[in-house]
Structure 1
Amino acid sequence: MERFARLLDRLAFTPQRTGKLALLRAHFADTPDPERGLALAALTGALSFKSVKAGVIRELASQRSDPVLFALSYDFVGDLAETTALIWPVRPGANREPDLAEVIEGLQSATRASAPGLIEAWLDALDPAGRWALLKLVTGGLRVGVSARLAKTALAEFGGVHVHEIEALWHGLSPPYEALFAWLEGRADKPVSAARAPFRPVMLSHGVAPRDLDALAPSDMQAEWKWDGVRVQAVSEAGVRRLYTRTGDDISHAFPDVIAALDFEGALDGELLVRAAGGAPAPFSDLQQRLNRKTVSKAQMTRHPAFIRAYDLLVAGDADLRARSLAERRARLTEFIAPMDPERLDLSEVIAFDSWEALDALRADPPHAHAEGVMIKRLASPYLPGRPRGEWFKWKREPFTIDAVLMYAQRGHGKRSGLYSDFTFGVWRREDGGEALTPVGKAYFGFTDAELKQLDAYVRANATERFGPVRAVRAGPGQGLVLEIAFEGLNRSARHKSGVAMRFPRIKRIRWDKPAAEADRLETLEALLG
C-alpha cells in the first residue's frame, strides 16, 4: 500500500495536468506487476467492493475514538477518509502492512460480515497516509483529480503509443492488465481485444471563433444543432449491444430501453437525450435522472424515456465507414436508421444556411430550447479519432449571466477540506409582503486560489447559522456579497423552491463593488424559461 498511498497523496496535491501525467508514468515504470495494474484499475473506476459502505467506516471510527470528537472532526475536515485516517488510534503490535494486491483480493472475497474486521486490522497496520489511501480505495471516491481518460493517456505516454490504441483495447482487458503492460514495455505482442461490440475512439471538435470562419467556405461545411445531452456511441454487433460515452465508459445498464431498440448490425455516433411529452428533447436535468445509476426502474424509464439523435455512422454491417467522407457517411446513416423506431433513434437535423452571418443568427437564438449552439463539420472529413484540426467545430451560444447573492457555504474535499469552497447563491423574490432571497444554484469553481481564500475569509467573518457542515452567510438588502454567475442553460425544477435549476453554474466574478439589493430577481430567470 505504501507506493499506492504515496501516488494518491502526490496526485491530490499536484494541480497541473502535466504533473499528474508525469507521476502516473513514473508509477507505471517503477512499480511491478500486479500492483501497478491494480492502481490503474482503481484510478479508472474498474474496481468496486460491494461488501463495504461508507457507514461501515463511520461506525469503525466512532468505536475506536470518541464519537463526539469524531463527529466534530468530520464536520471540520469534511472528508470521511481523511478524518478517519488522522483520528484512528493504532493498537500496539498490529499486523504487518498489507500490500495493494492483498487488500483488493481481501475486499473482493469479503462478506458484509467479515469486511469490517479486515478493514480494522489493515487500519491498525498502516500509517496515516496508508490509512487514507485504503479508505479512498474502499469507498471508491479517490478525488485526486485523475479521470479514466487521463490515466489512459498516461498509460499511452508510458508505452509510446497513441491513447486511441488503449481505448480501442480497453473493454477487452481486465485488471491487473499484465498483458497490456507487457506490450507497452515491448516484451510481448499487442493484446488482441476480446471485447464484443467494442468501443471505437470518437472524433472530437474544436471551438470556433467568428474570425476562424474566414478560412471556411459555407458550401464545404455541414451544420447541425449542438444538443444538451451526452455524446454516445451505440454498437450492436454479433448479438451484443453496448452504449458507450465519448470516453468509452459503458452505460448500457442505465438505458435498457435504448439498448432494446438497437436493432441493427453496426456502430453509430450520436447524442443521448430524454424525450419530453411533446416529442422534443427534454432538459439535461431529466437525463441526469437516468445517468450514473446501476439499475433503472420501469417508472424511471416511463418518466424519462431516452433516445439517441444520430449524426454519424461508423460501421454498417461488415463495412467500416470511418475512412469515408462525412457526406457519404451521412447518406448511409439516413438509409440505415430509416426502418428503426423513431421514438428511440432519430436523425440529427442538417441546418440550411448560405452565410456565416445567417448561421450566427441561428446559433445565438436557436429555435430549440435545449440546443446549445451549432456543430460545423467539413463534408469531406473522414471520421478520425481524437481532435483533428480543421475538420469539426463547435460554435456555442454565449453563456447566460446573472448577479446573485451568496447565501450558504460548505467546506470542500481533499486539498480544499479546510476552506469554504462550495457556495449556494440566491436572487430576490417577493415573499410574505417583502423581499427575500431564494436559492437558485450552487457553484464550486470559476475562481482563482487567491479569490477562494478571500471567499473563505468572507464566509468565516459573516457566518450567522450552522447546519452541520453548512454555514449560512449574512445576506440581506443592506449587506451581502454579490457573485456574477455564468451558466449554460436553465430548466424548470419542481425539486427547488425557486422552481428553476441551472446548467453548469460557475462564479464568473466576485462583485465586491455591488450592493446586495441590486442583485437580480427571480423574474429575470423565469423570463429565460419562456
Structure 2
Amino acid sequence: MQAFAQLLDSLIYTRSRNAKLALIGAYLKAAPDPDRGWALAALTGDLSLRAVQPGIIRALVSQRVDPVLFGLSYDYVGDLAETAALIWPGAQIAAPPPRLSEVVDELQRITRTQAPAVMTRLLDRLDADGRFALLKLATGGLRVGVSARLAKTAFAQAFALDPDDVEEVWHGVSPPYTALFAWGEGRGERPSSDDAPVFRPFMLAHPLDDRDVDLSDYAAEWKWDGIRVQLVHVGGETRLYSRAGDDITQSFPEVAESYRTPGVLDGELLVRGDVQGGAAASFNALQQRLGRKTVSQAMLRDFRAFVRLYDILFDGPEDLRPQPWTQRRARLETFMSRLDSARFDISPLVDAPDFAALETLRLGAREAAIEGLMLKRRNSPYVSGRRVGLWYKWKRDPLVADCVMMYAQRGHGKRSSYYSDYTFGCWTEEGELLPVGKAYSGFTDEELMMLDRFVRSHTVARFGPVREVEKTLVLEVAFDSIHASKRHKSGLAMRFPRISRIRIDKPAAEADRIVTLRGLAV
C-alpha cells in the first residue's frame, strides 16, 4: 500500500506526460501481483468499491477530531480525502501497513454497515500518505491527472508492447490482470478477444486548422451532434461502447436488440426528432437517455434511439481496418442492407466543389443536429487515435454569451485548493439573475489565480462547499449549443460551456439576457 501511496503522491505533483508514464511504468514493473493489477485497475477506473461513501469518512473523522476543527480544515484544504488523511490521529497499532491487494479484498467484501469498522482499522495501520491513498481508492475518485488511456499506455511502454494492441485486448481481461502482466513479461500468450464482444479503439480526427489540403483526396461527411458509439456483435452477444470504451448497452437496449449481424460498426448514436419526419433531434433529447441503468417504456417511446453509421471495422470475422476508406464505405453500404432501417442508417456524404461551398454548408449546420463537417482521406485505413493527414474535423464556430458569475466551488486533484468551478447566469427581463450553466475550463493558470482571488474576496454567503459571490464579474462563455431544459430554473442548459474571456471591462448589468439565449436554443 505504501508504494501505491507514493505513486499517487508523485503523480499529483508531476505535470509532464512522459514523467507520468515513467512513474506508472516503474511501479508496474516493480510491484508484485496482484497489487500492480489492482493499481492499474484503479488508475483506469475499472475498480469499483461501492461500500464506502464520503459521509462515512466524515462521520469517522468527527469521532476522532473536533467536528468544528475538521470543518475548518476541510474548508481550507478543499479535498475530503486529503483533509481526513492529514487530521486523522491514528491509534498507533503495531501491525504493519496492509498490502494494496489486502485493502482491495477487504473493501470488495464489506457491506455499508461493516464499512466504518473496517475503514477505521485500515486507517489506523497507515501513515498520512497511505491514508490518503486508501481514502481515494475507497471513495473511487483518484483524480491524479491520469486518464485510462495514459495508464494503459504506461503499461504498454513498460513492457514494450503496442498501446493499440493493449487497448484491443483490454476488454477481454479483468482485474487484477494477471494474464495481461504474464503476456507483458513474456510468460504467457497474448490474451485472446476473438470470441468476445470487446471494444476496439476509435479512429479520431485532427481539427482543421487551415485549408492546406487537396479536397480531391478527401470525402466530406457531416459530423452529427450525438455521441460516438461502437456496435459489436460477436459470439451471439451485442455490446454498445462509448468513445471512452464504456459499455452503454443497458442504456440503449432497443438498439442492441436490433443489431444481430456479426461485425463491428462505428457510428453516431442519436434520438429521433419529429415523429413524422424522423430526423435527428438535438443532443438535449439524447441526454435524457444517457447514463440510465433502466429505461422505461415512456423513454423508449418518447426518445427513440438510432445509430447513423460512419464506418465498418469488421464484417463477421474479417478485419476491414487495413482497407482504404473507399473500400470500407462500399462494404458498409452492403452491410447496411442486413440491418433494421428503423434503427440504422448511413451518414450521407457531402458534395462540395471547394472550401467556399463547404463553409456555406457548415454555417447552416447548427439547426440540423450537426456539429460540423468531417474530411476523410479516401485511402486512409482505420487506425486508432489521431493520425496526421488522415481525418479532419471542421466544427461549427461556438456560440458566446456574456454571463455573470454567481457561485463557485473548489476543484479536485491539483485544483482542490482553488475555486475553479463556476456557476454563471443571465438576466431576466425583470432584472433577476438566473443560472444558465457551469464551467471549469477555458482559462489559464494565471486567470485561475485571479478568479480564485475574486471568489475569496467577494463571498457573500456559503452553502457547504459552495460560495455565493457578489454579482459583479462578467465571464464571456463559449458553448456549442443551448437547449430548453425543464430541470433548470432559467429553462435553458448549455452544452460544453467554457470560459473564453474574463470581462473585467464590462458592467454586470450589461451581461446578456435570458431571452437572447432562448433565441439561440435548438
| TM-score tier (shorter) | over 0.9
The aligned residue for residue 7 of structure 2 is 7
Q: Does the 8 Å CA contact 2:270/2:281 hold for their aligned counterparts?
A: yes
Q: How far is 1:318 from its partner?
A: 3.4
CA distance in 2, matches of 1:194, 1:140: 31
Alignment of 1:24-103 (within 5 A): 24-93=24-93, 95-103=95-103
Q: How far is 1:455 from its partner?
A: 1.0
Q: Does the 8 Å CA contact 1:52/1:139 hold for their aligned counterparts?
A: yes
The aligned residue for residue 379 of structure 1 is 378
Given residue 332 of structure 2, which amino acid in structure 1 is its aligned partner?
Answer: L
Alignment of 1:439-478 (within 5 A): 439-475=435-471
1:224-261 CA distances to partner (integer Å, 9 max, x unpaired)?
11112221110112201111223433222322222111
RMSD: 2.1
Rate the CA distance shift 1:4–1:171 in 2: closer, same or farther, 3 A: same
CA distance in 2, matches of 1:67, 1:281: 53
CA distance in 2, matches of 1:307, 1:62: 50
CA distance in 2, matches of 1:303, 1:123: 49
The aligned residue for residue 246 of structure 1 is 243
Alignment of 1:406-421 (within 5 A): 406-421=405-420
CA distance in 2, matches of 1:352, 1:232: 25
CA distance in 2, matches of 1:330, 1:135: 49
Q: How far is 1:42 from its partner?
A: 0.8
Is the deviation greater in 90-99 or in 147-156?
Answer: 90-99
Q: Does the 8 Å CA contact 1:314/1:383 hold for their aligned counterparts?
A: yes
Q: Is 1:23 aligned with 2:23?
A: yes
The aligned residue for residue 403 of structure 2 is 404
Q: Secondary structure at the match of 2:447?
A: helix
CA distance in 1, matches of 2:195, 2:36: 22
Q: How far is 1:295 from its partner?
A: 4.2
1:121-167 CA distances to partner (integer Å, 9 max, x unpaired)?
00111112111111111111111121111111111111222211001
1:483-504 CA distances to partner (integer Å, 9 max, x unpaired)?
1111111111111122211111
1:51-109 CA distances to partner (integer Å, 9 max, x unpaired)?
33333223322333333443444344333222222222212335331110101111122
The aligned residue for residue 393 of structure 1 is 392
Q: Secondary structure at the match of 1:343?
A: coil
Q: Does the 8 Å CA contact 1:482/1:516 hold for their aligned counterparts?
A: yes
CA distance in 1, matches of 2:250, 2:94: 42
Given residue 456 of structure 1, which amino acid in structure 2 is its aligned partner?
Answer: D
Given residue 494 of structure 1, which amino acid in structure 2 is its aligned partner?
Answer: K
Alignment of 1:192-211 (within 5 A): 192-193=192-193, 196-211=196-211
The aligned residue for residue 339 of structure 2 is 340
Given residue 272 of structure 1, which amino acid in structure 2 is its aligned partner?
Answer: L
Rate the CA distance shift 1:85–1:298 in 2: closer, same or farther, 3 A: farther
Rate the CA distance shift 1:94–1:307 in 2: closer, same or farther, 3 A: farther
Q: Does the 8 Å CA contact 1:405/1:426 hold for their aligned counterparts?
A: yes
Alignment of 1:516-527 (within 5 A): 516-527=508-519
1:294-352 CA distances to partner (integer Å, 9 max, x unpaired)?
44444444443322111111222233222223222222222322343333222212212
Is the deviation greater in 81-90 or in 439-448?
Answer: 81-90
Q: Does the 8 Å CA contact 1:95/1:121 hold for their aligned counterparts?
A: no
Given residue 445 of structure 1, which amino acid in structure 2 is its aligned partner?
Answer: S
Q: Does the 8 Å CA contact 1:233/1:245 hold for their aligned counterparts?
A: yes
Rate the CA distance shift 1:331–1:508 in 2: closer, same or farther, 3 A: same
Q: Does the 8 Å CA contact 1:171/1:195 hold for their aligned counterparts?
A: no
Is the deviation greater in 395-404 or in 8-17?
Answer: 8-17
CA distance in 2, matches of 1:179, 1:224: 41
CA distance in 1, matches of 2:94, 2:304: 54
Q: How far is 1:24 from its partner?
A: 1.2
CA distance in 2, matches of 1:336, 1:301: 26
Is the deviation greater in 103-112 or in 300-309?
Answer: 300-309
The aligned residue for residue 365 of structure 1 is 364
The aligned residue for residue 128 of structure 2 is 128
Given residue 482 of structure 1, which amino acid in structure 2 is its aligned partner?
Answer: V
CA distance in 1, matches of 2:445, 2:244: 29
Q: Is 1:515 aligned with 2:501?
A: no
Tell me the matched-pair count.
Answer: 520
Rate the CA distance shift 1:514–1:368 in 2: closer, same or farther, 3 A: closer
Q: Secondary structure at the match of 1:123?
A: helix
Rate the CA distance shift 1:111–1:467 in 2: closer, same or farther, 3 A: closer
CA distance in 2, matches of 1:404, 1:87: 39
Q: Secondary structure at the match of 2:428?
A: strand
Q: How far is 1:18 from its partner?
A: 2.5
Q: How far is 1:189 from its partner?
A: 3.7
Q: Does the 8 Å CA contact 1:49/1:107 hold for their aligned counterparts?
A: yes
Structure 2 runs not aligned, ≥5 long: none
The aligned residue for residue 290 of structure 1 is 289
Q: Secondary structure at the match of 1:160?
A: coil
Identity, in percent, stands at 56
Alignment of 1:104-503 (within 5 A): 104-193=104-193, 196-213=196-213, 216-218=214-216, 220-278=217-275, 279-366=278-365, 368-431=367-430, 435-475=431-471, 480-503=472-495
Q: How far is 1:194 from its partner?
A: 6.6
Q: Does the 8 Å CA contact 1:172/1:194 hold for their aligned counterparts?
A: no
Given residue 316 of structure 1, which amino acid in structure 2 is its aligned partner?
Answer: D
Q: Secondary structure at the match of 1:234?
A: strand
Rate the CA distance shift 1:138–1:295 in 2: closer, same or farther, 3 A: farther
CA distance in 2, matches of 1:80, 1:367: 42
Is the deviation greater in 491-500 or in 193-202?
Answer: 193-202
Given residue 463 of structure 1, which amino acid in structure 2 is its aligned partner?
Answer: T
Given residue 428 of structure 1, which amino acid in structure 2 is its aligned partner?
Answer: W
Is the deviation greater in 11-20 or in 419-428?
Answer: 11-20
TM-score by length of structure 1 reads: 0.92
Q: Does the 8 Å CA contact 1:306/1:344 hold for their aligned counterparts?
A: yes
CA distance in 2, matches of 1:522, 1:118: 51
